[in-house]
Amino acid sequence: DGWFRTGDLGVLSGRGHLRITGRVKSMIVLKNGKKVFPEEIESLINKQLAFVKESMVWGEPDVDSDVDICARIVLDREKVIEELGAEPDETHLKKLLDTAIRKVNSIMPSFKTVRYYTYGYQDLVKTTTLKVKRYIEVERIRKALAGASTSVKAAAGRNIDALLERLSHLFERN
């Protein structure tokens, strides 16, 4: 039939142009049935915030059988210093990122808003074609948090690099 299944989701405009909106396998389905495409939120975070190098959004199951929208934000250290005018400390970074995430959330419908975020300077794990290995990255975050006996909610607004570094050292020893 000439159709090639790529796993991409898209919308056809009235003029016949195809706009890719996300991937089937990365789609987050909320308890109320609404669908969230991480790529849409990542694009907003990356474009709206000049000090962000890249980001990754995923759905984290919560205790009420719903899903919280979470983000891992990779910062560009030089641009953060430009933004803050000095080497950032945890307090100033958290304030900057809280304001930035509120700004991004204000652009989106409430069901798509980022509930929790972590940040760091370590690049995301990617394929040879530079696509984020979403599944591996989410598993790394979950294992790092579990190893520290904490949750995404408890780690929200904090630098996750140290936890990820500790996790990678554990795997290197084994």
Do 132 and 73 meet the contact criterion of CB atoms below 8 Å apart?
no
Residue ranges with strand state E in the chain:
8-12, 18-23, 28-29, 35-36, 52-61, 67-75, 116-120
Residue with the bigger pLDDT between 169 and 127: it is: 127
Indicate whether 66 belongs to any domain.
Answer: yes
In the chain, the number of structural domains is: 1
d(CA 75, CA 88): 11
Kindly state whether residue 33 falls inside one of the protein's structural domains: yes
- pLDDT tens figures, 66-119: 899 999 999 999 999 998 888 888 899 999 999 999 999 999 999 999 999 999
In a domain, 119, yes or no: yes
Q: In this structure, what are the phi and psi dihedrals at residue 87, rounded to the nearest 5 degrees?
A: -60, 125
Residue 61 lies in a domain: yes
Asked, for residue 55, whether it belongs to a domain, the answer is yes
Q: Is the pLDDT of residue 169 over 60?
A: no
What is the pLDDT, as a whole number, of residue 9?
65
Residue 113 lies in a domain: yes
Name the pTM for this structure: 0.83
Please report, rounded to a whole number, the percentage of residues in the chain having pLDDT higher than 70.
Answer: 86
Decide if 158 is inside a domain: yes
CATH number for the domain spanning 169: value is 3.30.300.30
Mean pLDDT of the chain: 87
Domain ranges, residue 156: 26-173
- Phi and psi at residue 99, to the nearest 5°: -65, -45
Q: Give the model's confidence band at 172: pLDDT under 50 very low, under 70 low, under 90 confident, else very high.
A: low
**Does 124 reside within a domain?**
yes
CB 37, CB 81: distance < 8 Å: no
**Can you tell me whether residue 120 is helix, strand or coil?**
strand
